[in-house]
Structure 1
């Protein structure tokens, strides 16, 4: 009986020790959806590109590799909250197996781009843009076997095909930086 109790205690101890208390980016998004200080948009590419047949074959391939886009924005109202949330996001991005692809900016405005997956088979792209005077935007692009060149073409497609693509769902999210 002692052995049984000791075994249960040992399993419970190791179970508690192995629990990961670090928040994932997905958990951060879910938690933030409940906070009215954030603007959150989640869209599948089928909503963004309902008229995909009007795109070129190359653009269609790129759009089809992207499955979902999540945007989270915070318009600066409270500097302490802004600092706390950006610190949380930096920790999550450092601890959650993201590889930093690019970093640009200055002391007041910064943008960092992260990827998860192999360079030629990217599963997720994260763009984290901050402005010390305006707020931040966190964008997640989820897909299958995306690559860096595809992401550039996807951004170009979103920009140049606004008549074909339904980008209206993103209106208001960039107001954070106006």
Structure 2
């Protein structure tokens, strides 16, 4: 009897261990796997380094901006030789973002560029906000927005304000140069 219980316990432990180690294809692991690849650019940006004119922000947008700590950026550059690879990489990212843990926030197209914004968390508090943008001629970029007490509703109003904001391109020059 003790032998059977011991065998069941060991089998159960092994199954739990193997399942917990299985790669589920998370966005974080996608970042880690590709940050050193030649067609990718990766950059961690503390929000304190991004200077914006917040004078036109509403109180809600200001709260959302102040709740963000840092941005993780991963970009893939398109060129004539990697069109199929670009499609495959976009398909991988979309597969990751189709997981039920990613909640839809905003999705729109602008001049041939598609933007998808999702978040992980509840309707009241987001643990992480993800912005995925792609364009056939440029490639794609993913921004993981990490912070404390981020509200999905407030973040969506912040994204609207950021579309209209004047961002100093010198702050993101490495990223801009990568896509040229």
Query: Which TM-score band (shorter chain)?
Result: 0.7 to 0.9
Give the TM-score normalised by the residue count of structure 2: 0.74
Counterpart of 2:101 in 1: which secondary structure? coil
Q: Are 2:161 and 1:156 aligned?
A: yes
State the alpha-carbon separation in 1 of the partners of residues 20 and 115 from structure 2. 34
- Counterpart of 1:123 in structure 2 is 127
- Do structure 1's residue 75 and structure 2's residue 72 form an aligned pair? no
Match of 2:42 in 1: 40
- Structure 1 gaps, min length 5: none
- Per-residue CA deviations over 1:52-100 (Å, capped at 9, x if unaligned) read 9x95594764432111111111111312221221111111111261111
Give the TM-score taking structure 1 as reference length. 0.75
**Runs of 5+ unmatched residues, structure 2:** none
Total equivalences in the alignment:
171
Deviation, 1:162, is: 4.3
Give 1:1-178 correspondences, 5 Å limit: 2-3=3-4, 4-5=6-7, 7-49=9-51, 58=59, 61-77=63-79, 78-95=82-99, 97-105=101-109, 109-147=113-151, 148-153=153-158, 156=161, 160=165, 162=167, 168-174=170-176
The root-mean-square deviation of aligned C-alpha atoms, in Å, is 3.2
Structure 1 residue 6 displacement after superposition? 5.2
Superposed displacement of residue 157, structure 1 = 6.0
